[in-house]
Amino acid sequence: MAKRLISNRTNKKMFKMTPWLFLLPSILILGTFLIYPILQAFHWSVLDYKLISGTGEFVGLENFKELFTDKAFWNALLNTLLFLLIVLPLNIFLPMVLAVLVNQKLRGVTTFRVLYYLPFVTPMVVGALMWKMLYSQNGMISDFLVKLGIFDSPTNLLVQQGTALVAVAVITVWKGLGYYMIIYLAGLQSLPKGVYESAEIDGASTFQQFRKITVPMLVPSITLVSILTIIAGMKVFDEIAIATGGGPAGATTTLVIYIYNKFMSLDVSIASAAGLVLLILAIIASLLQMKLTSKREDDLRA
Amino acid sequence: MQVNQLSKRIWIYALMLLVAVTTVGPFLLTLFISLKSPGEGIYDGFLPANPSLINFVEAFERANFGSYFINTIIVSAIAIPLNLFFCSLAAYPLARMEFKGRSFALVLIISTMMVPFQLFMAPLFQLAGELGLHNTHVGLVIMQVSTAFGIFLMRQAFLRIPKELEESAYLDGANKFQVWYKVALPLVKPTLITLAIFTFMETWGDYLWPLINTTDSSMYTLSIGLAQLSQNFDGANLKLVSAGSILTVIPTLLIFIWLQKYFISGVTEGSVKG
């Protein structure tokens, strides 16, 4: 009996190694190519790091001082927030409407769903290039806007200071439509059917049903879509880099593009400091959003 | 009432059609531009007057798309099996074993998903240089051979397996690795396929890291080759860019049509908060 207990104990000890053996390859890979560079970025943000010589001296908070006195940084921060302000309502609303549409029991609905997923499965570089052609001065969008009488002469929205950010945001929203629609569809399919039936009996119109039943009951999905949009929206790079390159005159230079430009001019310490600001924003945004929406859910319940 | 229902239906179809035009329109426009013959202006008319495949031939002959294709395929072929293997391996104890440090490891891995790539791309670039990974296929996939997202996704899948199945295998004398390989993995096959698709999309369309890590044009992937080609964004070159875009997007569309349901379950599983 005693012997068995001991062997059991050693057995248990040996077992503790096993989970780490499972984890080992991923720990090595993520540790080397993810965690280590992240920690290094933290470190570089307080150095004047030179990429070429591979050395840097401790400068304290100098990089952050330089960052916070750089007008281009504030412009980039503002553009990131503006970009989110444009994308967020569109991402919350449009895919929701789409989900409600394709959730109907109608013929051909599955085909429409597939057509709505297409942008999502398209590499962003391709999506951005296609839209860049659509936006071009002789392209369809410009033609359309002239015909509508919005512009007198052919105009490329991507090169206008006032419209470039919105024009790029449209590409982001277009690409995400199918993705967020799937999230809303999952939410819709978990809703109880009975509510709609009794609303119908009470004579509620389609619009009223949407506003009074669908939207409030989809709050968990709205939360999820918002968080995903904010976190992804802050990191948007491809479509901006391809469609405008951050221009015209910095009008689409978001924080991410700012960091990229700093990196390309080898100011890696400033880039790291700006990267930390981006990280902090991402953390704050998700915490804040979770808090706000959980409160709204409580209000609904009360 | 009947008329009301009918008009409601017409409205729904009209709306759905309008949206479909915006989601599919850009593809059609690009396809039609890519089919236009040399003499034709790219914005003269929507449809090509004399459809021709010359731009696709040119894409391979003049613009090196053959080599971009091969590079992108190699990169995906390295990333997909490794990511599936390492993620399903790491996720298993996080879902199924009790051990000290488990919650720490889990929280650490999941919280890295929030970290923007742009924060650490410069240190990663330097590290890749030190390890001789600039301008190599392996260097292009280091961010995709084991991913926090993949571990998270696989863990969710393992959590759903009934414990009894594994327990009976233990009674038969199997060890943890055997149970993982023979019992658990076959049960999460759909999630493995989902992860394979997402890894494919990630590597096939990856742009920023290849842009930084690749300077040698013989190592360009499709995204980079396409972006470089589009630096000259006018006239005849746009037909080539269009042909290249279509070539780049065809494999992803085919895989999507083939494995559609896994795409969709991937979105819902991957986005639900842990």
Output b/e per residue, B176-199; b: 16+ Cβ within 10 A: beebbeebbbeebeebbbbbbbbb
Which stretches of chain B drop beneath a pLDDT of 50? 273-274
Q: Name the residue among A129, A174, A238 with its Cβ closest to that of B22.
A: A174
A57 is a domain residue: no
A165 is a domain residue: yes
pLDDT tens digits along A3-47:
444 444 445 545 578 899 999 999 999 999 999 999 999 999 999
- How far apart CA A155 and CA A82 sit, in angstroms, is 22
- How far apart CA B189 and CA B157 sit, in angstroms, is 9
Q: Name the residue among B20, B118, B205 with its Cβ closest to that of A275.
A: B118
The pLDDT, as a whole number, for residue A4 is 47
What residues of chain A lie within 8 A of the CB of B24, using their CB?
115, 118
Instruction: Please name the residue that has the structure tokens 């531009």.
Output: B33
The pLDDT, as a whole number, for residue A39 is 96
Say which residue, A294 or B136, is predicted with more confidence: B136
- How far apart CA A239 and CA A237 sit, in angstroms, is 6
Instruction: Please name the residue that has the structure tokens 């990974």.
Output: B133
pLDDT tens digits along A87-132:
999 999 999 999 999 988 888 888 999 999 999 999 999 999 999 9
A19 is a domain residue: no
Tell me the whole-structure pTM to 2 decimals.
0.90
CB burial class (10 A; 0-12, 13-18, 19+) of residue B73?
Answer: middle
pLDDT tens digits along A223-263:
889 888 988 899 999 999 999 999 899 999 999 999 999 99
Which of A12, A33, A55, A262 to mutate: most B Cβ within 10 Å? A33
A31 is a domain residue: no
Instruction: Please name the residue that has the structure tokens 């860019």.
Output: B241
Do B99 and A35 make contact, defined as CB atoms within 8 angstroms?
no
pLDDT tens digits along A36-85:
999 999 999 999 998 888 888 898 899 999 999 999 999 999 999 999 99
Q: Name the residue among B93, B146, B252 with its Cβ closest to that of A19.
A: B93
The pLDDT, as a whole number, for residue A7 is 46
A32 is a domain residue: no
DSSP A168: H
Cα B157 to the chain's mean position, in Å? Answer: 20
Q: How many CB pairs under 8 A join A and B?
A: 251
State how far residue A302 is from chain B, nearest Cα, in angstroms.
24
Cβ-based neighbour number of residue A92 at 10 Å? 19
State how far residue A92 is from chain B, nearest Cα, in angstroms.
15
A12 is a domain residue: no
* The one-letter amino acid at B43: Y
Total domains in chain A come to 1
Contact B61, B124 (CB under 8 A): no
A9 is a domain residue: no
What residues does A55 pair with on adjacent strands? A50
A33 is a domain residue: no
Instruction: Please name the residue that has the structure tokens 């085919």.
Output: B254
Residues 6+ apart with CB under 8 A from A108: none
Q: Is B151 on the interface with A (CB under 8 A)?
A: yes
Do A235 and B43 make contact, defined as CB atoms within 8 angstroms?
no
Query: Which CATH number is A125's domain given?
Result: 1.10.3720.10
Do A19 and B119 make contact, defined as CB atoms within 8 angstroms?
no
The pLDDT, as a whole number, for residue B159 is 93
- How far apart CA A238 and CA A168 sit, in angstroms, is 10
Give me the mean pLDDT over the A146-164 stretch: 90
The pLDDT, as a whole number, for residue A2 is 45
Which has the closest alpha carbon to A30: B154, B213, B108?
B108
Do A106 and B13 make contact, defined as CB atoms within 8 angstroms?
yes
- How far apart CA B146 and CA B142 sit, in angstroms, is 8
Q: Which residue of A has its CA nearest to B245?
A: A126
ipTM over 0.85: yes
Domains and CATH numbers, chain B: 57-271 (1.10.3720.10)
Domain span at residue A197 reads: 62-301
Cβ-based neighbour number of residue A12 at 10 Å? 9
pLDDT band at A282 (very low <50, low <70, confident <90, very high): confident
